[in-house]
């Protein structure tokens, strides 16, 4: 796909001809052109083509790289409403399950695929896709929407503008607007600012204060490195994992693709690794190589690939727990407001759910005949997100420390538990029937709100 220009303007239109449906349009800044930010922009455009939306992204282009992610729970329903699920399915990888190995590479246990509406003991979900692919699906959808708009004779005055290679450095608020200072040295004013800029959100820090990280970031005591290496014959379609002594866990995921993803997790040497993220990438690579050297199985190949990789990324795993997702006219979306950590597998779902709820509440409160009330919309967004956030952030009842044994005996016990669960889990799942859900992503625990105001296809 052709890379976007640094500033790309989309003029917004909707098939609905009756503009009396709309109240006052909003001038909105979205910080971060990730999954949540672009999904929010698409939803807002559909609800009111007169909104003026700017997405600012600190990278020079769309970040089409990244690891494999899964889409599940209510996020599947939202993508159906957006008529994007088929495009997502066409890009899904062919991962067929998870294989647990010993340190010598001997298969110990195998787990299959978890359907989108169920929770099973496996790493692999029904919809597994590379992060860059879903970003491109969302971005393409906004461009195609623009093409339809350009064919229409109507002029609504709204737009979606992508600004790359820029970020925000300051925020000031009053009751009516948010003043924003950008790294490029310009100041602008917006009705609403949405921080969709990830776990290390600059928006969160600027809006809630520099000490907000210490109040809201809950470390899990696990450090992770992600990168890819060239695939080899035999990598296959099964994800693979094995545990090593000294609290180390290794995953590989190939899905018959040209590259194999490598994920390294450790609870060893956390004090040393905690400080390494301020160092250059080469220093970070060396620190992780030192921790994982001698871990067994295919470690020489994985560490050789680590040294040569050009997509290495590392961080400490946290959960973001905010008392409130907004302050004034600045709100947080996705990992910026409620990062669940990779161990829940719900980061993508949480971002899509949040985009849907935020867009729905803004449409409900600003498209009404009462007034242009952003405050009510943000209050309702925060209230309605409490249950799905709790659902997305729910960790396994098994303490993480037990998943990272430090001794050979601990590793042996973990492997035997995996073998046992691989034998009994299919019987439990097959016998549970309706207890697994109705295919709508555990809708019995939280029902996806219905927003006719978003003017999605199921309401036209």
The span from the CA of 342 to the CA of 337, in Å, is: 15
Q: Name the residue among 101, 64, 416 with its Cα closest to residue 252.
A: 101
Look at residue 14 and tell me if it is in a domain: no
Look at residue 21 and tell me if it is in a domain: no
SS3 56: strand
Look at residue 49 and tell me if it is in a domain: yes
Look at residue 460 and tell me if it is in a domain: no
Look at residue 332 and tell me if it is in a domain: yes
Residue 88: CATH number of its domain:
3.50.50.60
pLDDT in tens, 58-100: 999 998 777 899 999 899 999 999 999 999 999 999 999 999 9
User: What confidence score (pLDDT) does residue 172 get?
Assistant: 97
Look at residue 342 and tell me if it is in a domain: yes
User: What confidence score (pLDDT) does residue 27 get?
Assistant: 95
User: What confidence score (pLDDT) does residue 370 get?
Assistant: 47
- For the chain, the domain total comes to 1
Q: Is 188 exposed, middle or buried (0-12, 13-18, 19+ CB in 10 A)?
A: middle
Q: What is the pTM of this model?
A: 0.90
Q: Which residues neighbour 450 within 8 Å (Cβ) at sequence distance 6 or greater?
A: none
Domain that includes residue 158, residue range = 27-431
Look at residue 458 and tell me if it is in a domain: no
What does the chain come to in residues?
460
User: What confidence score (pLDDT) does residue 426 get?
Assistant: 63
Look at residue 223 and tell me if it is in a domain: yes
Q: Which residues neighbour 242 within 8 Å (Cβ) at sequence distance 6 or greater?
A: 100, 101, 102, 103, 249, 250, 296, 297
Q: Which residue has the tokens 């992600």?
A: 226
Q: Which residues of the chain have pLDDT under 70?
A: 1-23, 117-121, 149-150, 152-153, 155-156, 270, 367-372, 425-444, 459-460
């Amino acid at each position: 796909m052709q890379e976007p220009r640094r500033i790309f303007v989309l003029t917004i239109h909707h098939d609905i001809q009756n503009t009396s449906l709309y109240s006052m349009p909003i001038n909105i800044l979205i910080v971060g052109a990730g999954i949540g930010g672009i999904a929010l922009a698409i939803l807002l455009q559909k609800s009111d083509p007169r909104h003026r939306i700017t997405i600012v992204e600190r990278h020079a282009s769309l970040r089409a790289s990244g690891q494999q992610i899964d889409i599940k729970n209510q996020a599947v329903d939202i993508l159906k409403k957006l008529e994007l699920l088929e495009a997502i399915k066409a890009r899904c990888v062919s991962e067929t399950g998870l294989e647990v190995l010993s340190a010598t590479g001997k298969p110990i246990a195998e787990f299959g695929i978890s359907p989108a509406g169920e929770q099973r003991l496996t790493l692999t979900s029904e919809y597994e896709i590379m992060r860059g692919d879903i970003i491109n699906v969302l971005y393409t959808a906004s461009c195609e929407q623009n093409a339809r708009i350009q064919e229409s004779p109507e002029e609504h005055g709204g737009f979606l503008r992508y600004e790359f290679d820029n970020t925000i450095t300051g925020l000031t608020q009053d009751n009516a607007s948010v003043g924003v200072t950008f790294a490029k040295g310009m100041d602008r004013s917006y009705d609403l600012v949405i921080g969709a800029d990830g776990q290390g959100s600059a928006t969160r820090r600027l809006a809630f204060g520099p000490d907000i990280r210490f109040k809201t970031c809950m470390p899990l005591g696990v450090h992770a490195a992600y990168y890819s290496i060239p695939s080899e014959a035999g990598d296959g379609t099964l994800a693979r994992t094995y545990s090593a002594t000294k609290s180390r866990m290794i995953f590989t995921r190939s899905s018959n693709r040209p590259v194999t993803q490598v994920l390294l997790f450790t609870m060893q040497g956390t004090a040393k690794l905690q400080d390494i993220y301020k160092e250059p990438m080469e220093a970070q690579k060396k620190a992780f190589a030192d921790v994982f050297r001698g871990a067994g199985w295919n470690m020489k190949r994985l560490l050789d690939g680590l040294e040569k990789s050009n997509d290495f990324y590392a961080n400490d795993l946290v959960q973001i727990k905010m008392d409130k997702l907004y302050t004034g006219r600045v709100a947080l979306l996705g990992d910026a407001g409620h990062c669940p950590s990779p161990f829940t597998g719900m980061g993508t779902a949480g971002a899509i759910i949040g985009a849907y709820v935020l867009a729905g509440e803004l449409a409900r409160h600003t498209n009404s005949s009462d007034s242009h009330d952003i405050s009510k919309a943000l209050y309702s967004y925060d209230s309605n997100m409490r249950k799905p956030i709790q659902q997305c952030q729910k960790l396994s009842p098994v303490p993480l420390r037990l998943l990272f044994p430090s001794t050979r005996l601990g590793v042996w016990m973990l492997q035997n538990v995996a073998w046992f669960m691989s034998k009994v889990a299919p019987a439990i799942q097959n016998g549970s029937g309706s207890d697994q859900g109705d295919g709508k992503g555990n809708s019995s625990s939280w029902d996806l709100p219905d927003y006719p105001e978003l003017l999605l296809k199921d309401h036209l």
